[in-house]
């Protein structure tokens, strides 16, 4: 429940209730952010998206304690003149809208580039022209590959953090060749970051850029054939959850050697709330938001998810829990991968005093408990249906 006592920012100033235009509010991150804002703050959200399934529980019924503080506007920002009005009547715009599933980057590069660059242009223009603050969601993928990945395999420098830690104001952005269309997303995100930064420098736009490092938790993406297309390929959490629910081996792309750091969505949302409520500390900054302590290879992630799922479902794991697949087979031509992603946390620590709390095991336990509760029965029925016919 939103407390009735005045909310104070990190410098002890009263936080006044604000109106937030949240674009992409119906997605994974948006749904958690809306939940947090409704349950713990007095702010109002104009939730913009083409879908609202993931925030339905916040919109209905009218008797909810925050009714009147959240309005859903079903619109596509590609072509809807209502967008400017919504930004104009808000204090802050948060842009989350994007195509952000790697399976699309090499197979739908045009949609990916339009979504992540062209479609973000009007949002930036309306914020700049109307002197409105913007929090824009970019990605850790703008760093691309680490410098260390280009060193010889046996080089001792590969162990030196200077060659792999990703730091907002220092690290270069290293992408593969244009034929490797995987990088269409990173490149579009990088260019919109540069444009936002330039609007800040030349026209005084008040902005914050967020670079999420693999935020995961309930409601991420979809389970193919249940609440998304059967042939769709979501991000790794949903792919592996789907395999576990269906008792199929988890597919390790190119040996599952890539490394990732995973952060629990609820920890990451705390960081976003600090940005929202501390504009003086957040504006003009680019923030890594991730958990450097939760690093695993994709293979280790698969092994851990298999163990955790056995625990929460009470089912033994299958005899062959993982299989190797080539990236070409899994994603098609033009796929490439980020080798390693460890966020430097200096800037977010200094500006907002934020640190993630949840271990990988704990976040997988709560997320897989949710996946099991939400999908196990539907999967059982889906599997039984063809047999019954
Ligand atoms: P998501 O796909 O769950 O949410 C994006 C939402 O934007 C969806 O609900 C979609 O319907 C909406 N949207 C897309 N195009 C739209 C349009 N033209 N008009 C209106 N709505 C539109 O993704 P997410 O994981 O919540 O990611 C949100 C943002 O964070 C994205 O910009 C993404 O690039 C970035 N990001 C997320 C992660 C992560 O770990 N989840 C990592 C890196 C970057
Ligand atoms: N991956 C995998 N099996 C899957 C799905 C993904 O091995 O079923 C790998 C993918 O190749 C990448 C990592 O898992 O190395 C993370 O993929 P995700 O789609 O979550 O997004 P990314 O972190 O690459 O943006």
Q: What is the pLDDT of residue 5?
A: 78
Atom of ligand 2 minimally distant from the CA of 240: 8
- What is the pLDDT confidence band of residue 1, given thresholds at 50, 70 and 90? low
CA torsion, points 153, 140, 300, 179, in degrees to nearest 10?
A: -60
pLDDT average, residue stretch 121-139 = 98
The set of catalytic residues is: 185
CB atoms within 10 A of CB 285: 18
Rounded (5°) CA angle 270-30-83: 125
- Regarding an ipTM greater than 0.95, the answer is yes
Q: What is the mean pLDDT of the chain?
A: 97
Do 239 and 165 touch, CB atoms closer than 8 A?
A: no
Residue 3 has pLDDT above 60, yes or no: no
Please check whether residue 107 is in contact with residue 331, taking contact to mean a CB–CB distance below 8 angstroms. yes
Cis bond upstream, residue 360 (ω within 30):
no
Q: Is the CB of 214 under 6 A from ligand 1?
A: yes
What percent of the chain stands above pLDDT 90?
97
**Closest ligand 1 atom to the C-alpha of 221?**
3
Q: Is the CB of 144 under 6 A from ligand 1?
A: no
Least distant ligand from the CA of 260: 2
In the numeric block, which tokens belong to residue 211? 């670079």
pLDDT over threshold 80, residue 153: yes
Ligand 2 probe mutation, 99, 102, 331, most atoms within 8 A of CB: 102
Q: Is 155 left (phi over 0), alpha (psi -120 to 50) or beta?
A: beta
Q: HEC profile for the chain?
A: CCCCCCCECCCCCECCCCEEEEECCCCHHHHHHHHHHHHHCCCEEEEEECCCHHHHHHHCCCCCCCCCCEEEEECCCCCCCHHHHHHHCCCEEEECCCCCCHHHHHHCHHHHHHHHCHHHHHHHHHHHHCCCEEEEECCHHHHECCHHHHCCCCCHHHHCHHHCEECCCCCCCECCCCCCHHHHHHHHHHHHHHHHHHHHHHHCCCEEEEEECCEECCCCCCCECCCECCCCCCCHHHHHHHHHHCCCCEEEEHHHCCEEECEEHHHHHHHHHHHHHCHHHHCCEEEEECCCCCEEEHHHHHHHHHHHHHHHHCCCCCCCCEEEECHHHHHCCCCCCCCCCEECCHHHHHHHCCCCCCCHHHHHHHHHHHHHHHHHHHHHHHHHHHHHC
Residue 214 in contact with ligand 2 by CB distance below 6 A:
yes
Average pLDDT over residues 146-158: 96
How many other β-carbons are positioned within 10 Å of the β-carbon of residue 206? 19
Distance separating alpha carbons of residues 264 and 356, to the nearest angstrom: 8
Cβ–ligand 1 contact at 97 (below 6 Å) = yes
Q: What is the mean pLDDT of residues 123-140?
A: 98
Atom of ligand 2 at shortest distance to CA of 243? 8
Q: Which residues contact 211 (CB under 8 A, 6 or more apart)?
A: 138, 139, 140, 142, 168, 286, 287, 288, 289, 343
Is any ligand 1 atom within 6 A of the Cβ of residue 241?
no
pLDDT of residue 6: 87
The pLDDT value recorded for residue 385 is 79
Cβ contact 233:101 at 8 Å: yes
The span from the CA of 44 to the CA of 30, in Å, is 14
Write down the pLDDT at residue 40.
98
Distance between CA atoms of 343 and 44, rounded to whole angstroms?
31
Q: Give 177-194 pLDDT, tens digit per residue.
A: 999 999 999 999 999 999
Q: Which atom of ligand 2 is nearest to the CA of 298?
A: 14
- For residue range 67-124, list pLDDT tens digits in order: 999 999 999 999 999 999 999 999 999 999 999 999 999 999 999 999 999 999 999 9
CA triplet 242, 325, 113: central angle to 5 degrees?
75
Buried b (16+ CB within 10 A) or exposed e, 40-61: ebbbbbbbbbeebebbeebbee
Question: Which of 2-6, 374-378, 381-385 has the weakest average pLDDT?
Answer: 2-6
Q: Whose CA is nearest to atom 14 of ligand 2?
A: 236
Q: Give the residue, out of 21, 22, 23, 24, with the most ligand 1 atoms within 8 A of its beta carbon, to mutate for a pocket test.
A: 24
pLDDT of 4 higher than 70: no
């Amino acid at each position: 429940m939103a407390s009735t006592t005045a909310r104070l920012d990190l410098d002890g100033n009263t936080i006044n209730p604000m109106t937030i235009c949240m674009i992409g509010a119906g997605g994974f991150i948006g749904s958690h952010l809306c939940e947090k804002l409704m349950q713990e703050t007095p702010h109002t959200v104009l939730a913009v998206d083409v879908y609202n399934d993931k925030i339905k529980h916040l919109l209905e019924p009218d008797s909810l304690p925050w009714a009147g503080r959240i309005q859903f506007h079903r619109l596509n920002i590609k072509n809807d003149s209502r967008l400017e009005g919504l930004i104009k009547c808000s204090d802050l715009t948060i842009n989350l809208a994007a195509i952000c599933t790697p399976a699309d980057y090499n197979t739908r590069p045009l949609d990916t580039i339009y979504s992540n660059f062209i479609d973000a242009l009007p949002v930036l223009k309306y914020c700049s022209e109307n002197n409105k603050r913007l929090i824009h969601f970019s990605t850790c993928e703008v760093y691309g590959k680490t410098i260390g990945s280009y060193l010889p395999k046996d080089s001792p420098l590969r162990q030196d953090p200077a060659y792999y830690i990703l730091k907002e104001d220092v690290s270069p952005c290293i992408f593969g060749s244009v034929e490797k269309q995987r990088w269409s997303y990173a490149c579009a995100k990088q260019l919109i970051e540069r444009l936002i930064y330039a609007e800040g420098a030349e026209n005084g736009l008040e902005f914050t850029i967020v670079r999420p490092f693999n935020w995961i938790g309930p409601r991420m993406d979809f389970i193919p054939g249940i609440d998304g297309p059967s042939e769709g390929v979501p991000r790794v959490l949903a792919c592996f959850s789907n395999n576990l629910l269906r008792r199929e081996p988890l597919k390790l792309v190119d040996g599952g050697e890539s490394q990732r750091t995973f952060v629990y969505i609820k920890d990451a949302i705390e960081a976003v709330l600090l940005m929202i409520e501390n504009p003086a500390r957040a504006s003009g900054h680019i923030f890594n938001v991730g958990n450097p302590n939760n690093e695993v290879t994709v293979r280790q992630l698969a092994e851990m998810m298999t163990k955790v799922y056995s625990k929460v479902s009470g089912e033994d794991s299958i005899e062959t829990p993982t299989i190797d697949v080539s990236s070409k087979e899994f994603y098609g031509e033009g796929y490439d991968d980020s080798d390693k992603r460890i966020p430097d946390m200096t800037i977010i620590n200094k500006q907002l005093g934020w640190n993630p709390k949840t271990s990988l095991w704990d976040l997988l336990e709560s997320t897989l408990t949710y996946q099991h509760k939400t999908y196990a029965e539907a999967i059982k029925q889906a599997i039984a249906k063809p047999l019954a016919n």
